[in-house]
Chains A and B, each alone.
Chain A
């Protein structure tokens, strides 16, 4: 497992060399994107494909971003034929396994963006794991 210093990943991401992705400590993310929302909408959702390449479980416990007031791990659920959201306090990624954050399922709920985000813009979100691992991920805004 190659280990990359988060700062290096950050720098590379900032230079735009790693598109919509991130990787640290054996956990990687690709296809990280946020759906563009109408102006004035305070809630967005972040999606990504997480991969745990280590031989231990990794537990995602929090996320934060300089681009949003609040980031929460949420899951869309269906209850009595209705859909709603519930807070997922932690999500376990089993060893050598992937987990998809996708529309209709797990997503990062992004509250109150600090600036208007348009298709093509990028914003960094830091994923925090129980092990102490911090994974910075660059998300791209898509239509």
Chain B
């Protein structure tokens, strides 16, 4: 799966470079690093998770808006807070400069449901941005969505150890309003770059994605 995503990302990069060199001056706006845009985006299939207000979060919640998805856990001192802080800035920039905030959502998916209750998740994500949504669920369903996006993770629960290790993907996944995996942002992440690239993706999509 990881290899597939990497390969798809590479192919997408090549495809973009070729397409835009020939056809579209807006190619200048699409960087070659930091984001891979999939030319043939994969439609996501059913999954069943729960948001931080204990509401169902499933495939229907990804339809009709652009979603930025990030997998992590709240007992994560470095990468998760850093990423969420960047995404909060990115969201503000997108809302201000690009398209308004109506059609976008930012979702933090905890891969550590053992420790991340709905309450904890809510407190955590809304600290970074009031609109952020925290989502988790049972391991099979987290694995279901993560697998579809190519988001690797590994939770090594050790009995009696409070701070057991969790490994997770550092990428931010962009799902379009038809619930298709449209692009992936890879570190180093930058709020301005995410906002700028998202604007280009939206322009390229036009009304097709809605």
Q: Hey, which bits of chain A sit against chain B, CB under 8 A?
A: 35, 37-45, 74, 76, 78-85, 103-104, 107, 109-111, 143
B78 touches A74 (CB 8 A): yes
A110 touches B79 (CB 8 A): no
A104 touches B75 (CB 8 A): no
For residue B158, give the distance in angstroms from its CB to the closest CB of chain A.
14
* Distance, CA A81 to CA B153, complexed state (A): 9
- Given A35-B82, A80-B167; 14 other pairs, CB 8 A cutoff: A37-B77, A38-B74, A38-B124, A38-B128, A41-B74, A43-B163, A80-B2, A81-B2, A82-B153, A83-B168, A84-B166, A85-B77, A103-B78, A107-B78
Tally B residues with Cβ within 8 Å of A.
Answer: 29
B74 touches A83 (CB 8 A): no
Complex interface bits, B88-100 against A, C-beta within 8 A gives 1, otherwise 0: 0000000000000
A104 touches B167 (CB 8 A): no
* Distance, CA A45 to CA B90, complexed state (A): 22
Which chain A residues border B163 with CB–CB below 8 Å? 43, 111
Which chain B residues border A45 with CB–CB below 8 Å? 77-78, 81
A43 touches B124 (CB 8 A): no
Q: Determine which residue in B2, B75, B163, B187 has the highest number of CB atoms from chain A within 10 A of its CB, and name it.
A: B163
B77 touches A44 (CB 8 A): yes
**With A38-B123, A38-B127, A45-B77 as contacts: A143 and B169 at CB distance below 8 Å:** no
CB-defined A-B contacts under 8 Å, sample of 20 = A37-B81, A37-B127, A38-B74, A38-B128, A41-B74, A43-B75, A43-B163, A45-B77, A74-B78, A79-B167, A80-B2, A81-B152, A81-B169, A83-B170, A84-B165, A84-B166, A104-B79, A104-B82, A109-B77, A111-B163
**With A104-B187, A107-B77, A110-B77 as contacts: A39 and B127 at CB distance below 8 Å:** yes
**With A104-B187, A107-B77 as contacts: A82 and B168 at CB distance below 8 Å:** yes
* Distance, CA A35 to CA B81, complexed state (A): 8
Which chain A residues border B167 with CB–CB below 8 Å? 79-80, 82-84
A82 touches B124 (CB 8 A): no
* Distance, CA A83 to CA B75, complexed state (A): 13
For residue A63, give the distance in angstroms from its CB to the closest CB of chain B.
14
For residue B109, give the distance in angstroms from its CB to the closest CB of chain A.
14
* Distance, CA A104 to CA B81, complexed state (A): 11
B48 within 8 A of A: no
